[in-house]
A and B are shown apart, each in its own frame.
Chain A
Amino acid sequence: MSDHGRTDPVLDCPADETPDGEELITAAMRWHFSPETGSPFWLERAGKLDFDPLRDVKSFADLRLFPNLVNELRDVRVEELIPRGLTLPDDLYGIYESGGTTGAPKRVVCTTDWMERWLAFSQRHLDARGCPRGVNWLALMPDGPHIFGAALREGARRSGGILFTVDMDPRWVKKAIAQGRAEDAARYADHLVTQAGFLLETQDVGVLITTPPLLQRLAQDERLVALINRKVRHIQWGGAHMDADTRHLFRTEVFPGIQLQGAYGSTMILGGSLERIEPAGEDRCVFDPFAPYITFSVIDPATGENVPYGERGQVVMNHISKAMLLPNNLERDTAVRIRPPEGQMGDSVADVSPVATFDDQAVIEGVY
């Protein structure tokens, strides 16, 4: 083959098409474990696995064969993570980092192709919700090394809006809280809200993107609540959990006319999931992932087995694309396992909340 296997009908299918899950897994194993296309990281580790990814990993269940290697992403040189099959620099969108909740940050590779797919998925969802195009976005979200900032920048531009941002460093906030300086974190949050106020007062803002803790701070300022209710049509929250009562109060009392939409994702899966659009009157927050690229399972951490639908367990995340293979990552969150929509690989999740400790570290959400 002239391109040395660098194009694949499944991995490179059009961005608005959804490949079959098992076909994606098979194609991804071929990509990540072929010497011509795989990353040095995976090629080196392949030799130490007690199974053959090319032969043994064909289904969603087979992903469990992989060890959870994400902690290695704290130290490894990013050059080791870049699949050899990519054409540099055009195929590489950027290197992004996790929030450092459980220690030193981890790094991931994002390709232009993956960003394209992720944005197409998001836009489809926003359109289905009736989120207006051509309006400005205000984001009180981490930018910098976090992938969400990059995705927002692209998303706002493509939907025809201007993006206003307020800087946020979630790592600093988490550090302040971990050191018992909750007041410093609170002052920082107040500072962010003040900055957002300048924009809400003077600019047209149709879409607000922020975290639940910051949304609560905004909600304590009656002037800002009035501004948001007057200007904003769509609020997207993410980056931290929101309990069902808080969500209910936002929807019914604080921002009654505004579309409230949750996002549940992670830099470690290069994106995530968006809140399912439920029929009117349904009062729950289910997240359907961007399967089959991003998939979840909800397990009992003691046995590794799925919990029954409707039961709470710990979330395992997978990312499979040409950019990266990040299988079998036990996340810090717990969630209720929900039956997925027809044809979706893996589980959907609801009522996400953080576990109290993770890797022997207290889990601190802070403003993010």
Chain B
Amino acid sequence: MPGPATAATRAALRDAGEELVQLDAFGANGPYRARNRLTVPDVTGQPLAELSIVPPLFVHRALAALRSADPLPPGERAAALERAGRLFASGTVGGLDPDTYRELVSRCSGLPIPVVSAATGIVADAASQAAGTVLQARPQAAVGDWRDPATRTGAAVWTRRGNVFAVHAAGNHPGVHALWLEALALGYRVVVRPSRREPFTPHRLVAALREAGFGADHIALTPTDHTVADTVVAGADLALVYGGDDVVRKYAGHSTVLPQGPGRAKILVTGGDWRAHLDTIVDSVADEGGTACVNATAVLVEGGPDEAAAVADALAERLAAIPSLPPRHPEAVLPVQPLAAARAIEGYLLRSAGSATAHLGGDGVVDDLGDGSAVLRPAVFRLDRSDAPQTGVELGFPCVWVAPWNRGDGIAPLRDSLVVTAITDDERLLEQLVDEPTISNVHVGDHPTYWMRPGLPHDRYLAEFLMRTKTVIRD
């Protein structure tokens, strides 16, 4: 390990830091402990770990190694992914056993520990199934290998659009790391720039992948500060970038960057029988602590203000009963943030609400736990029309906008949604929802917005972005 000592204070800090978990970068020459390290705090402000922040030179060298490597054969990739998934979920990786890992993620992100546990399983499943999942996206006419007999008479071969894939990851939920494993399954070499908000998951996953057989020239982890983040994206052939509307706008015209923005998932209930589906609606809002892009942001209720108010009241009653618990508590459901951050989110919510009618959370959503952190309690606001702009205000806790909807409104208020759960018998409406290009997924009936399965697309198949077909004809 290198031993810098540029100044007494930094030396002193480092001594204190020896007890903290060290999250090294993973580059061309193995793990790298940088001199430039960022303290990763938990939601109460206690330091948990030190994250090595690498400079552009390190990123360039990691990318050069990925670029010059040959992919593992497909069978080895699948086996290594499966091993890595098992290690990730239940092994000791980089000195951390699974329980310690889950506790660290929970303390750092404020996500309830059951949410973190569930996400671990999701990532492990995704790893073990990635090799099969990606095949779902292959065009029917295409074969996977140029040696396939079909190419004797000419055939489409499914090939990579590039060799090096960059992931500019999000820190809102460990589950986001399930997706990019598919790139490894397809033979891409992958560099991950972790979120500084929750770096434990990508660190553990990359460590597990290396332990499972992906070499230093196949998978890299390059934590950087904001000024260097673009270097990671620019140096790869293709990139997946998580962010807000600004990120989506920034990369809108880039054919080599796939932006993943806010989900703005919505529920539509027609016909007045919403009571039977209340569980689905509540779960869609509050499962995953309300932190995932697939959590419902808005509920549209057929009828007038009275129908909407009835749904809002029922939602508020159910959500109000959720207890405020620290994230490490086994029964925790709600997310926790540092108090100041929670107050800022609350301020944003109340400013955004404007003239909306509060059914829950109108006096605020911050529940101070007294240790520097605060629970973000659910909020239910009612709007007077389905096209009110608040339906697009997506926040990282159970926060839902309820609005009346009528057939005359059509599907316009449901556009730009990652998921629409439609509780309706109206086939024409369903047809329109499925046809609508800005709606990524349609769930009909009692399927919460967060429902996902490996092998089914989340925001189209990632492989649609990673792969292309080309004709091969041979003697």
Tell me whether A and B are bound partners: yes
Cα A187 to Cα B8 with chains together (Å): 41
| Contact among B8, B10, B58 with A245 in the assembled complex (CB-CB below 8 Å) | B58
Decide if B252 is an interface residue (CB 8 Å cutoff). no
**Closest chain B residue to A312, Cβ basis:** B7
Q: Which of A229-262 contact B (CB under 8 A)?
A: 243-246, 248-250, 253-254
Q: Is the CB of A284 within 8 A of B57?
A: no
Q: Is the CB of B57 within 8 A of A216?
A: yes
Determine the main DSSP class of B at the interface with A.
Answer: loop
| Contact among A222, A245, A311 with B54 in the assembled complex (CB-CB below 8 Å) | A245
Q: Is the CB of A284 within 8 A of B5?
A: yes
Decide if A93 is an interface residue (CB 8 Å cutoff). no
Decide if B14 is an interface residue (CB 8 Å cutoff). no
Q: Is the CB of A220 within 8 A of B36?
A: no
With contacts A253-B29, A283-B3, A283-B4 known, is A216 near B36, CB below 8 A? no
Q: Please, which residues of chain B bring their CB within 8 A of the CB of A216?
A: 56-57, 60
Q: Which of B54-113 contact A (CB under 8 A)?
A: 54-58, 60-61, 64
**Closest chain A residue to B11, Cβ basis:** A310
Cα A95 to Cα B274 with chains together (Å): 82
With contacts A216-B57, A245-B34 known, is A310 near B7, CB below 8 A? yes
Q: Please, which residues of chain B bring their CB within 8 A of the CB of A310?
A: 7-10
Looking at A219, A220, A249, the one whose CB has the most chain B CB atoms below 10 A away is A249
Q: Please, which residues of chain B bring their CB within 8 A of the CB of A82?
A: none
Q: Is the CB of A246 within 8 A of B6?
A: no
**Closest chain B residue to A243, Cβ basis:** B55
With contacts A216-B57, A222-B64 known, is A243 near B7, CB below 8 A? no
With contacts A243-B55, A245-B55, A253-B29 known, is A284 near B61, CB below 8 A? no
Q: Please, which residues of chain A bring their CB within 8 A of the CB of B36?
A: 243-245
With contacts A310-B9, A311-B9 known, is A244 near B57, CB below 8 A? no
**Closest chain B residue to A310, Cβ basis:** B8
Q: Please, which residues of chain B bring their CB within 8 A of the CB of A246?
A: 55-58
How many residues in A have their beta carbons less than 8 Å from beta carbons of B? 25
Decide if A336 is an interface residue (CB 8 Å cutoff). yes
Decide if B370 is an interface residue (CB 8 Å cutoff). no
With contacts A243-B36, A245-B58, A246-B55 known, is A350 near B64, CB below 8 A? no
Looking at B4, B5, B6, B61, the one whose CB has the most chain A CB atoms below 10 A away is B6
Cα A351 to Cα B60 with chains together (Å): 22
Q: Please, which residues of chain A bring their CB within 8 A of the CB of B4?
A: 244, 248, 283-284
Decide if B161 is an interface residue (CB 8 Å cutoff). no
**Closest chain A residue to B29, Cβ basis:** A253
Cα A303 to Cα B10 with chains together (Å): 23
Decide if A309 is an interface residue (CB 8 Å cutoff). yes
Q: Is the CB of A249 within 8 A of B35?
A: no
Q: Is the CB of B57 within 8 A of A249?
A: yes
Q: Is the CB of B6 within 8 A of A350?
A: yes
- Give, as a whole number of angstroms, the nearest-CB distance from A186 to chain B: 9
Q: Is the CB of B57 within 8 A of A254?
A: yes
Q: Is the CB of A220 within 8 A of B9?
A: no
Q: Is the CB of B57 within 8 A of A219?
A: yes
Q: Is the CB of B57 within 8 A of A351?
A: no
Q: Please, which residues of chain A bring their CB within 8 A of the CB of B6?
A: 244, 284-285, 336, 350-351
Q: Is the CB of B57 within 8 A of A336?
A: no
Decide if B2 is an interface residue (CB 8 Å cutoff). yes
Q: Which of B266-285 contact A (CB under 8 A)?
A: none
Cα A311 to Cα B9 with chains together (Å): 7
Q: Could you give, for residues 1-43 of chain B, a 1 whenever the CB lies within 8 Å of some chain A CB and a 0 otherwise?
A: 0111111111000000000000000000100001110000000
Q: Is the CB of B9 within 8 A of A253?
A: no
Q: Please, which residues of chain B bring their CB within 8 A of the CB of A336?
A: 6-7, 10
Q: Please, which residues of chain B bring their CB within 8 A of the CB of A284?
A: 4-6
Q: Please, which residues of chain B bring their CB within 8 A of the CB of A311?
A: 7, 9
Cα A351 to Cα B64 with chains together (Å): 28
Cα A351 to Cα B2 with chains together (Å): 16
Q: Please, which residues of chain B bring their CB within 8 A of the CB of A250?
A: 57
Q: Is the CB of A245 within 8 A of B29?
A: no
Q: Is the CB of A350 within 8 A of B7?
A: yes
Q: Is the CB of B58 within 8 A of A244?
A: no
Cα A250 to Cα B61 with chains together (Å): 11
Q: Could you give, for residues 267-296 of chain A, a 1 whenever the CB lies within 8 Å of some chain B CB and a 0 otherwise?
A: 000000000000000111100000000000
Cα A338 to Cα B56 with chains together (Å): 27
| Contact among A285, A309, A351 with B8 in the assembled complex (CB-CB below 8 Å) | A309
With contacts A216-B56, A283-B2, A350-B6 known, is A248 near B35, CB below 8 A? yes
- Give, as a whole number of angstroms, the nearest-CB distance from A213 to chain B: 9
- Give, as a whole number of angstroms, the nearest-CB distance from A331 to chain B: 19
Q: Is the CB of A244 within 8 A of B7?
A: no
Q: Is the CB of A244 within 8 A of B64?
A: no
Q: Which of A302-351 contact B (CB under 8 A)?
A: 309-312, 336, 338, 350-351
Cα A248 to Cα B4 with chains together (Å): 9
Q: Please, which residues of chain B bring their CB within 8 A of the CB of A338?
A: 7
Cα A208 to Cα B9 with chains together (Å): 34
**Closest chain A residue to B12, Cβ basis:** A310
Q: Please, which residues of chain B bring their CB within 8 A of the CB of A282?
A: 5
By Cβ-Cβ distance, the 5 closest A-B pairs, closest first, are A310-B8, A310-B7, A244-B35, A284-B6, A336-B7
22 contacts between A and B (CB under 8 A): A216-B60, A219-B57, A219-B60, A220-B60, A220-B64, A243-B35, A243-B55, A244-B6, A245-B57, A245-B58, A249-B57, A249-B58, A253-B29, A253-B61, A254-B61, A284-B6, A285-B6, A309-B8, A310-B7, A310-B9, A338-B7, A350-B7
**A-binding residues in B (CB < 8 A):** 2-10, 29, 34-36, 54-58, 60-61, 64
A216-B60, A245-B35 given; name 20 further pairs at CB < 8 Å.
A216-B57, A243-B55, A244-B35, A246-B56, A246-B57, A246-B58, A248-B35, A249-B58, A249-B61, A253-B29, A282-B5, A284-B4, A284-B5, A310-B7, A310-B8, A312-B7, A336-B6, A338-B7, A350-B7, A351-B7
